[in-house]
Amino acid sequence: MNISDQKYQDLIDYISDELKESERITIEVWINESDVNRKIYEKILRKVIYTRWSLKSTQIDSEKEFKKFEKKLSAKVRYFTYIAVAASVIILFGISTPLLWNQYQENQEVIASLLPIQPGKKGAQLILSNGKKVEIENQSKEIKEKNGSLIQIDSLTGLEYDQKQSETQKLIYNTLKVPRGNEFNLQLADGTKVWLNADSELKYPVQFNGDDRQVYLKGEAYFEVTHNKNKAFIVNSYNQQVKVYGTEFCVNAYNHDVIKTVLVEGSVGIRANSRAKEFKLKPGELGVVNHETGLVQIKKVNVRPYIAWKNGDFVFENESLENIMLRLERWYNVKIFYMNEECKDFRFSGDMKRYSDVRKLLYFIQKTSDAKFEINNNTIVVMAK
């Protein structure tokens, strides 16, 4: 590693959370300056984690002694926790849930000394047609667009667009950006309601003056579309199009190569692109468009795991650890680092509230273990045992 002794020590102190706020920010800027710097940081992080676990394995002879050691360790190092992850499937429903909950409460002191990673909150950035950016957080106000349309902004209830048609026929667009660690909702000018998940973006007309109602999505959104038989509602996600006339559905377009649409009510048609064949979905069906192969797959599913985020829940149904951690990464605005690639393939089932401290979710998962987590600053490290 081609770094100074001081930089090496600063990185060690950063991993151990022993830096002042200004020093911590300086190190984070340095880490993100280049891929080389990030690789140096990750190499040191691996060494620190390996050393700590090696020391623990030689110093601790029994489960009872390990618990004592863990309590002492958590009191000194606030950001570190060693939590096991299920090897196959965790059942968090029925009889197992109160049992795990009681155990969580009994062992809460082991976790309590760690600083919590806060769940997401309401927040977004609105970009007006003139390019002006409005940060939406802890405020309520009214904005007039250049076509005269009024936009009601409330950080708690969302955006609401004037449903009165303006005299200007030219389409003008707004864009709502929801960063990681946030969520937001809005009501479009036609009355359609949209919920945007973390790390998502929606571009839409201030008024729907054309022959149809087209919006453009990146990320994930849930739609309750106002019925209008004369104006189809079309959601564009990269090349895919979802065409509806009045229905409820969710589109997941985080990965532009594979886009998922799940239908809750009504009827929609999905296309790999505007010229491709349309495939109709029925309620309870999932349509998956693979843009690399051009294939469209449709299958019957339980829609709840796909739409639970809109109702404040995490629902995992035989889902890979990799996909679970991607969800946590966006919602809790954390970074995920894998010490062992095989961990990504572990599969889980479970049900948790989305507004809980992430440590509670990890605790429930730990009860059947074949991997472990370490929380370091804003990074969750995933390791196999």
Report d(CA 259, CA 261) in Å as an integer: 7
Residue 235 and residue 379 in one domain: no
Residue 281 and residue 323 in one domain: no
Residue 130 is predicted with a pLDDT of: 93
Q: What CATH number is given to the structural domain containing 336?
A: 3.55.50.30
Residue 271 and residue 125 in one domain: yes
Within 13 A of 63's CA, how many CA atoms are on the CB side? 0
Instruction: Evaluate whether residue 100 is within a structural domain.
Output: no
Residue 236 is predicted with a pLDDT of: 95
Q: Measured between alpha carbons, how far is residue 105 from residues 100, 138, 360, 374, 383 in Å?
A: 9, 33, 10, 20, 25
Whole domain around residue 164: which residue ranges? 121-305
Residue 99 is predicted with a pLDDT of: 47
Instruction: Evaluate whether residue 370 is within a structural domain.
Output: yes
Instruction: Evaluate whether residue 63 is within a structural domain.
Output: no
Would you tell me how many other CB atoms lie within 10 Å of the CB of residue 368? 14
Instruction: Evaluate whether residue 261 is within a structural domain.
Output: yes
Last residue within a domain, chosen from 305, 321, 348 = 305
Domain count across the chain: 3
Residue 14 and residue 127 in one domain: no
Report d(CA 285, CA 269) in Å as an integer: 12
198-222 burial by CB neighbour count: b if 16+ within 10 A, else e? bbbbbbbbbbbbeeebbbbbbbbbb
Residue 128 and residue 38 in one domain: no
pLDDT in tens, 74-98: 433 333 333 333 333 333 433 344 4
Q: What CATH number is given to the structural domain containing 138?
A: 2.60.120.1440
Residue 147 and residue 177 in one domain: yes
Residues of the chain scoring pLDDT < 70: 1, 49-116, 165-168, 366-369, 371
3-state secondary structure of 41: helix
